[in-house]
Amino acid sequence: MKNELDSKFLLQVFDKIRQFGEKEGDKYRLNGITAFTDLDGYTLFIEDSQVKLSFGFHSQYHFDYEDREHYEKFEKKLKQIDKEY
């Protein structure tokens, strides 16, 4: 499934999760969302229990989810983090 993604928004949310979230090993967790990078730091991962998002070099991204409703809930969580922090 194809989704539109604003890379600036995604990077802002990723930064807020790292800044305000709880660190668990190499990952950060905030409001049910986990954020981390690969070893070289070029690919970002943001996920919850139902949706996984990888965002990489040149703003390429990939979503992995089974149901459109899961994606919509995930997107709502990201917007809430951006608004609250």
Give residue-wise pLDDT tens across range 59-84: 889 999 999 999 999 999 999 999 99
What is 7-79's CATH topology? Answer: TATA-Binding Protein (3.30.310)
Q: Which residues are CB-contacts of 34 (< 8 A; sequence separation ≥ 6)?
A: 17, 24, 27, 28, 45, 46, 47, 48
Which is more confident, 75 or 2? 75
Please, are residues 65 and 72 in contact by the beta-carbon 8 Å criterion? Answer: no
The whole-number pLDDT of residue 2 equals 45
The whole-number pLDDT of residue 1 equals 38
Tokens of 11: 């990077």
The whole-number pLDDT of residue 4 equals 65
The whole-number pLDDT of residue 3 equals 53
**pLDDT digits 0-9 by tens, 4-45:** 678 999 999 999 999 999 999 999 999 999 999 999 989 999
